Amino acid sequence: MRAAVLREYGEPLAIESIAPPDVENHGAVVAVEACGICRSDWHAWQGHGEWADDKVPRGQILGHEPVGRIVETGDHVTPFEGGERVAVPFNLGCGDCGACVTGHGNVCPDDRALGFEPAAPGAFAERVHVPHAAYNLTALGESVAPVDAAALGCRYVTAFNALVRRADVAAGEWVAVFGCGGVGLSAVQIANALGARVVAVDVDNATLDLASEIGATETVNGAETNDVPGAIAALTDGGAHVTMDALGRQETCRDAVESLRRRGRHVQVGLTTDAERGEIALPTDAIARGEIDFLGVRGLSPTGYDEVLRLVESDVLDPGRLVTREVGLDDVSDRLAAMDEYETRGIEVVTEL
Ligand SMILES: [Zn+2]
Ligand SMILES: [Zn+2]
């Protein structure tokens, strides 16, 4: 089968012909129909993550946002028998531990990160293996197109987890989203659907226009505004109730925290670059005095996919609206390179494998 393999950091991925995956007893092999291209792929391709023991090794097949059809199941996999269309999370739980059985498989201590470690070769390939398939896979109705379903992961479901489960956003609250790439735009759309009022923050006016189209009430261009927290305080009558840093950069994270009103909640979604190396200085005295919550977010538990899919199937949420480009496997390297200077917009999806 064809697969896109990371052979050297920062160099084009190698398109290779390799053996298709063998199925484990508890696993399933999925024929990939579509797979999103994500800034997490870019981090892996750049060789980031050493500071968090999270550097992806050479030889890895990247790709962690697939949707496809089951073509083979292990002996111990129910309820799937083959042929079902499924959504595949990147954070694959073991299905057995305390985290998994209480609905937090996204932080399973025995997890496998699809497309980021040798035990879980990724989905920039014709076929992908999913371990513990009964726990990790969610059946997808035929009404959702593959490209729309691929747009769900990981960014859309991460934004859902951040706003719904972690920050518990309520209707009428102000939500400020810093960085309107795939996860940021997803957050704008989801916050809008929740009845929140949204401030979108980005440095690109075309991106901010797109954010307005999908539900942002206000926009702030961070490159043209000296005091972003001040601007947000003015727009929101005293500060946002919830902020999200979708980028993981020093200035966006700190600006986001400083844009909160008292008792506000910040959700940290973006991972840092080699400028921050996993650490960002924050105003902890103000966090203490304001009773600010600082919440980490990692994907969404596989057990949470059902809820998101129901909202997509009933047209409350529309991840497909954020897809700006469909490409082939040979184009992935170019699209990753375009992320160097933040030249991509919305969600881009591989639909030709
Ligand atoms: Zn587990
Ligand atoms: Zn992703």
Across the range 242-247, mean pLDDT stands at 97
Separation CA 137–CA 149 (nearest Å): 13
The bound ligand whose nearest atom lies closest to the alpha carbon of 159 is 2
Q: What's the predicted TM-score (pTM) here? A: 0.94
Separation CA 90–CA 117 (nearest Å): 11
The bound ligand whose nearest atom lies closest to the alpha carbon of 105 is 1
The bound ligand whose nearest atom lies closest to the alpha carbon of 115 is 2
Which tokens belong to 8? 């050297």
Query: Is the pLDDT at 79 greater than 90, yes or no?
Result: no
d(CA 39, ligand 1 centre) in Å? 25
pLDDT band at 9 (very low <50, low <70, confident <90, very high): very high
Across the range 217-241, mean pLDDT stands at 98
Which of these, 296, 297, 222, lies nearest to 252 by C-alpha position? 222
d(CA 41, ligand 2 centre) in Å? 7
d(CA 92, ligand 1 centre) in Å? 8
d(CA 89, ligand 2 centre) in Å? 9
Which tokens belong to 91? 């954070």
CB 192 within 8 A of CB 215: yes
d(CA 228, ligand 2 centre) in Å? 27
pLDDT digits (tens, 9 = 90+) for 259-295: 999 999 999 999 988 889 899 999 999 999 999 999 9
d(CA 216, ligand 1 centre) in Å? 37
The bound ligand whose nearest atom lies closest to the alpha carbon of 152 is 2
The bound ligand whose nearest atom lies closest to the alpha carbon of 100 is 1
* Ligand 2 is an ion; residues with CB less than 5 A from it: 38, 40, 154
d(CA 244, ligand 1 centre) in Å? 27
d(CA 277, ligand 2 centre) in Å? 19
By CB atoms closer than 10 A (0-12, 13-18, 19+), residue 144 is: buried
pLDDT digits (tens, 9 = 90+) for 125-170: 999 999 999 999 999 988 889 999 999 989 999 999 999 999 999 9
